[in-house]
Structure 1
Amino acid sequence: MTTKLNRRQFSSLLGSSAICVPSIVRAQSDQMRQFEGATLNMLAVQFAHHDALWSQVAEFEELTGIKVNIEFAPFENTRERTLLDMSSMSGRYDIFTVDIMWLAEYAAAGYLEPVANYLNNPDLTAEDYDVNDFIARVYSGTGVYRDRMYSIPYDCGTVGNMFRSDLMMEAGVPVPNRFDGTFTAESMREICGAIHENNQGISGFVTGPQRWFWGWMFTPYLYAWQNPDNYGNEFVNSNWEVTINSENNLAALEYYLGLRDFTPSDDLNYGYGEQLAVYQQGNAGGSITYSGFIGAHYEDPSLPIAGKNVALHTPIGPSGRTDPFFGSWGLSISADSRQKTAAWFFIQWITHKDRLANGAIGGGTAVRHSTYQNADFQAAAPWHAEMYDYMANVANPDERIRIPEWSEISDLMGFYGNKAWGGQITAEEALLGMERDMSKALRRGGYQREGASQPPQLWRDLSYYDRAPADWE
């Protein structure tokens, strides 16, 4: 169910809706009103930093007569629930929120409707939608698979760390600034150790070693630890042979496992929620996080830790590499929806620059140039505003390689990584297990078959993702 706000409440909350709404509706009132009385059903991941975006849905309903029902799922259950519905081809949901790491899996199976035919139709897309206002790499990085656009971005960010700057100062260690080059692997251990030793009962760091979370909590270390000669070969080489069992990756895993020196002793099955709770309660000096979570989970004024944190990236690796982690969420139309055009009207309305700016100022993230350049957004979320150049020019949309088998690869990392974290196997044994089982997965996928038509490895040349959004057909 959506939250109902009257026009006065909505304008008071977001400040600009009353003047922003007509721009897109005036050009499309007839088309939108032809779906009056229709109901759209959406399955969405449940994140607090999306709340301000979804709070605007009531305005869309009032303007169009289209009802939008949103059913929320916890992050760790979203893929399972989405695939269950998609594979049934029931058409129960018209719209899905899609994590970038699942796009290839969904699109390759034919579960998503390509959106270019809607986007490029002037009868269906308003003049002021301004697709080129999206950051090019965020736009295509979120939605393109095999040259086709399937998903429109509404959230993007990177994985990094939050540290208690007050505890760092008390422990006598300098507080780094994000992207100033001083937060290295060595300095992170120094910070964690100083907090750990200076505060009885407070862990220097907390992470989520639970099996499900290794695909986004460990992967950034894996990338940061590569030397220049090995960039692009983090998981596979140019012949699609699995390279996870490399010296660079062993060093990354050993470093990550070494953080156990500073983490809670009972953390083996911590997921994101558990490790966040430890940090929020003041029982850890550092925490891994996704940048989109900072406003709601770390800097919400109701939290005792608000204003005491410094947002940092994954530590710079031994060869000087900053991890290019790219995370994002987009809105996609189900291939089995019986109301695809109405679904597109909603997607373009909610991802219009005005709605996305309102959502970002209210706690979300930026995916458009105009949002990053918005003074209200910069004031509300300085930890996001400083990421503009990073998301536009550094972040790699294919860090988690864009193939349908990624979910299996991620799960295998978690299976063996969790065992290593618990001391059941060594780091070497973990990488051997990953290599063996990932190789089986890619052989099943036909990547190593003689004469196979292998997909391009786009993470090696990001110019593919940097073309103007309007150029995608």
Structure 2
Amino acid sequence: MTKPRLSRRRLLRGAVAGGAALAAGGLLGGCTARQDARRLATDDRWRQFAGTTLNFISENTAPTAAIAADLAPFTELTGIRVNIVTLELSALVQKVALDLASGQAQYQVIYADPYQVLAPYSKGLVDLRELAADPTLPGEVADFADFVPVQLDATGRFGTEDKVFALPYDSPTMIWQYRADLFDKHHDRMAADLGFDPTPGDDTTWEQYLAIARWFNDNTDDVRYGTGHQAKQHDSLMCDFSNVLWAHGGDYFANGFEVGRIGAVEPGRCLLAEDRAIEAAAFYQRLLSVADPASRTWDWDGLGAAFRAGRIAMCPNWHEYAANNEAVLPGRVGYARLPRGPRRSANIFGGTGIGISANTLPNERGAAWLFVNWATARDVQLRNLQSEAGGGTPTRTSVYELPEVRAAEQRPSAMPNMLTAGAVRQAWKPENAGLRPKIPMWNECDTAIYTQLSRMLVGDATPEEAMRETAERIDRITARGWVAAG
């Protein structure tokens, strides 16, 4: 049986922190006089910064766990040593903000969360196209086309298409995960009772999803509830609701896809008080009324654990939980794009890129580029996918075209995350992608959204009241952001 692989969010907390990466050497001192890395006279473009030490600060994620366990090939290739420091995201954001403001570069390579690092601090990051265009360094701008387009935009750009501040590093995407064995077992009864084919497919709607969930509640003891959700008063609640919001044709701001794809300092008036958003909130309230009541205590980890424990028949969750699903429920889980709403299917993308601090000195910057280039290279992404230390899902299209990766999309699979490939390919199409607003003040907006949704779910606010209050709060938050940016 395939060993369990560590999945996307927080399951790796503490697994890498201070571990193998720090064994390569302590962090560079912040109080000493700054000296640039030494550049060697050599024809080997990968060895010109041999002897340099870099510091990479990252959230605790599957790709970083795999990279930390696989640093030896990079050091052998380049002669560069890399210290990896992993933190919970909010702590990472604080350290990155302080480091960028200091004018120093204690951390040369940065896990640039699109909403908490890239959007507010893009001016503190290097335009990677400049390094890719440097003939003295490996890599080239044309190679950026190998990244999944929506991922390169969402994780790498801010304010303009003319610059790339980070390369796509991980790609968690929310999809429909369901007990295929139970759907098969009850298929005929469900179809007869519901009046439609319950098998998850491109035409399945959210209303049908709700009906399926209710059917499991009322007609079988195989699971306690038909569906579960990550509806804790937390970022996870915003993510879970956003799929429904977009599917109903609602959005946070006008031209929402572009605000998510490229980003904006001034996104305009919040649209949550409009009819489509209120309709989405009302449907979400109905959906949660038939879901496992414990949903209001779960983030993505709690939801994933409940699904693996056989408590629920289906759920929307990040696709990289497939590895854990297959370890506990081998061959019994199916994966599909999320259902359609009145307007479309929407599948929230939660990926992040890695970039380089603009405080780096010239040679240090070149060394950092070697690492960023290597860490997102095709061969490294393939090794990460196969890694027993974790590993994420590739962000390069060429990896998905490799024969061994194609083969892993079917069971038995040595790369269980690839069992979701059909679903995520659909989810990454622009018409199906869900991109939250990439704006400098998003963290505060996120808090406003999940706070009001929580009030709605416990009955302290109607859907209309929750959406209107959220819109008013977001407008106040973004107005402050525009003033600060100006």
TM-score by length of 2: 0.76
Q: Distance in 2 between matches of 1:373 and 1:250?
A: 42
Secondary structure (helix, strand or coil) at the match of 2:151 reads helix
Q: How does 1:9-408 map to 2 (within 5 A)?
A: 30-48=44-62, 51-75=65-89, 78-102=92-116, 104-108=118-122, 110-126=123-139, 130-147=143-160, 148-172=163-187, 173=190, 180-197=201-218, 198-199=220-221, 202-210=224-232, 211-226=234-249, 232=255, 240-291=268-319, 293-299=320-326, 301=327, 303=328, 305-317=329-341, 319-323=342-346, 325-338=348-361, 339-362=364-387, 363-378=391-406, 379=408, 380=415, 381-388=418-425, 390-396=427-433, 399-408=435-444
Indicate conservation of the 8 Å contact 1:53/1:358, yes or no.
no
> Partner amino acid for 1:346?
F
AA aligned opposite 1:401? P
Cα deviation code 1:309-335 (max 9, x no counterpart)? 111233210x24111533322111122
Q: Give the whole-Å Cα distance in 2 for the aligned partners of 1:98 and 1:161.
A: 27
Paired AA for residue 227 in structure 2? F
Gaps of 5+ in 1: 5-27, 454-473
How far, CA to CA, are the matches of 1:323 and 1:245 in structure 2? Answer: 20
Task: List alignment gaps of at least 5 residues for structure 2.
Answer: 1-17, 22-41, 192-196, 260-265, 409-414
Partner of 1:425: 461
Contact conserved, 1:103 with 1:145, CA < 8 A, in 2?
no
- Check the 8 A contact 1:366/1:372 in 2, yes or no: yes
Q: Once the 2 structures are TM-superposed, how far is the Cα of residue 76 of structure 1 from its aligned partner?
A: 6.2
Residues 52-108 of structure 1: CA distance to partner in whole angstroms, max 9, x if unpaired? 444332210122221111122235654455445444555221111123333543334
Alignment RMSD: 3.3
Deviations 1:352-388 (A, max 9, x none): 2221233235452232221121221222313125533
8 Å Cα contact 2:131/2:137 also seen in 1: yes
- Residues 270, 286 of structure 1: CA spacing in aligned structure 2 closer, same or farther, 3 A cutoff? same
Q: SS state of the match for residue 297, structure 2?
A: coil
- Percent pairwise identity: 23
SS of the aligned residue for 1:335 comes to: coil
CA separation of 1:233/1:111 partners in 2, compared to 1, >3 Å: closer, same or farther? closer
Aligned to 1:97, the other structure's residue is in SS state strand
Give the secondary structure class of the aligned counterpart of 2:215.
helix
TM-score normalised by length of structure 1: 0.78
Distance 2:267 2:141 in 1: 44
Is the contact made by 2:273 and 2:467 (CA closer than 8 Å) also made in structure 1?
yes
Q: Distance in 2 between matches of 1:240 and 1:421?
A: 28
How far apart are the structure 1 equivalents of 2:125 and 2:465? 38
Contact persistence 1:138–1:392 (CA under 8 A): no
> Are the structure 2 counterparts of residues 270 and 157 from structure 1 closer, same or farther at C-alpha, using a change threshold of 3 Å?
closer
Opposite residue 137 of structure 1, the aligned amino acid is: V
